C-alpha cells in the first residue's frame, strides 16, 4: 500500500497520531503538501462521508476522523501558505450560522493566505450580522461563506441580502461547500461559487481584479 493510501486508511479509522506520523513521512519522501492533502487526507474524508451516509459508521467516528484531518492540516499549513506578503486584498471568511463544519473553510483560508490575501476567519456558526459588520469594519473586498448542510445554505442568502440592505454593494460574495453549486450562487445573488479551495482562490482573485 502506498503512503497516501495509508494516510487515507488511518484517517478513516480516526487514528490521529498515525495520520500525523505518516504525513511527516510523506513530506520526508518529498511528496508535495498539496498531493498529501488531496490524495491522502481529502480522499480519506470522502470515504468517511460515504460510510456515514450509509450508516456504516457513526458520528463519534466522524469526529475522530475530523480530528486526525485537522492535526495533519496544521502540519501542512505553513507549507501551503508559504511566505508571500499579503497584498492582494482582504477577505472575510466563515462557516454560516448553524453549521459546525470548518475543515473545508479552513482549507480555503490556508489557500487564500498562500495566494497573498489578508484573511479574516470568523470561524464556524457565524451569524449573518457578523459577516456584514466585519466586512464593513475591515473594508473587506470579499466575503466568503461555507456551508456543508442543506439546512444552513439559506443563511448565505441572508448574508447576500443583508450586505445589499446595508449599502455594501461593492463587497463581493463567494460561496462554497459540498451541497452548494454555481446555480445556487446565481439563485441567491452571490457573485461566485468555488468548487474547491483552489477554485475559491481563483474566483476571489478574479473578483478582486475586476
Ligand atoms: Co457532518 N455532515 N454532520 N460532520 N460531515 C456531512 C456534511 C454529510 C454530507 C455527511 C453525510 O451524510 N454523508 C451530512 C450533511 C447532509 C446534508 O445536509 N445534505 C452531515 C451531517 C448530516 C451532519 C450532522 C447533522 C450529523 C448529526 O448530528 N446527526 C452534524 C451537523 C452539525 C452541525 O454542523 N450543526 C454533523 C457533524 C459533523 C462533525 C462535527 C462530526 C464533523 C465536522 C468537523 C469539522 O468540520 N470540524 C463532520 C464531518 C467531518 C462531515 C463529513 C464526513 C466531511 C466534511 C469534511 O470535512 N470534508 C461530511 C461528508 C462529506 O462532505 N462527504 C459531513 C473534507 C473537506 C476538505 O471538504 O468540507 O467539502 P469540504 O470542503 C471542500 C469543498 O466543499 C470546498 O472546498 C473544500 C476543499 O476542497 N469548500 C469551499 C468548502 N467551503 C468552501 C467555501 C468556498 C469555496 C469552496 O468559498 C468561500
**Running DSSP on this structure, what letter comes out for residue 179?**
T
pLDDT tens for 171-203 read 999 999 999 999 999 999 999 999 999 899 999
Vertex 90 angle, CA 87 and 93, to 5°: 135
Walk across the sheet containing 142-146 and list its strands.
118-121, 90-95, 142-146, 172-176, 192-194
Residue nearest to ligand 1 atom 87, measured at CA: 176
**Which of 77, 148, 184 for mutating ligand 1's site (highest number of atoms within 8 Å of CB)?**
148
**Which of 8, 39, 46, 52 for mutating ligand 1's site (highest number of atoms within 8 Å of CB)?**
52
- From first to last of its 210 residues, the chain has per-residue pLDDT tens of 699 999 999 999 999 999 999 999 999 999 999 999 999 999 999 999 999 999 999 999 999 999 999 999 999 999 988 776 667 899 999 999 999 999 999 999 999 988 889 999 999 999 999 999 999 999 999 999 999 999 999 999 999 999 999 999 999 999 999 999 999 999 999 999 999 998 999 999 999 988
CB of 148 closer than 6 A to ligand 1? yes
Cβ atoms of 93 and 120 within 8 Å: the answer is: yes
Strand partners, 91: 119, 142
Task: Give me 77's grid cell.
Answer: 499549513
SS3 148: coil
Amino acid at each position: 500500500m502506498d503512503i497516501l493510501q495509508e494516510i487515507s486508511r488511518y484517517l478513516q479509522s480516526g487514528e490521529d497520531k498515525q495520520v500525523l506520523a505518516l504525513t511527516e513521512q510523506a513530506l520526508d519522501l518529498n511528496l508535495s503538501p498539496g498531493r498529501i492533502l488531496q490524495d491522502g487526507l481529502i480522499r480519506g474524508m470522502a470515504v468517511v462521508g460515504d460510510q456515514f451516509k450509509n450508516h456504516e459508521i457513526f458520528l463519534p467516528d466522524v469526529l475522530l476522523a475530523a480530528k486526525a484531518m485537522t492535526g495533519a492540516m496544521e502540519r501542512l499549513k505553513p507549507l501551503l501558505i508559504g511566505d508571500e506578503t499579503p497584498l492582494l486584498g482582504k477577505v472575510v471568511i466563515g462557516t454560516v450560522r448553524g453549521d459546525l463544519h470548518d475543515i473545508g473553510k479552513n482549507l480555503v483560508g490556508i489557500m487564500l493566505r498562500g495566494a497573498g490575501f489578508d484573511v479574516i476567519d470568523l470561524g464556524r456558526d457565524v451569524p449573518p450580522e457578523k459577516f456584514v459588520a466585519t466586512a464593513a469594519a475591515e473594508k473587506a473586498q470579499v466575503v466568503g461563506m461555507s456551508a456543508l448542510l442543506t439546512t444552513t445554505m439559506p443563511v448565505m442568502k441572508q448574508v447576500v441580502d443583508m450586505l445589499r440592505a446595508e449599502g455594501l454593494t461593492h463587497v463581493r460574495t463567494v460561496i462554497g461547500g459540498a451541497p452548494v453549486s454555481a446555480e445556487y450562487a446565481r439563485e441567491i445573488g452571490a457573485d461566485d461559487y468555488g468548487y474547491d479551495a483552489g477554485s475559491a482562490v481563483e474566483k476571489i482573485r478574479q473578483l478582486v481584479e475586476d
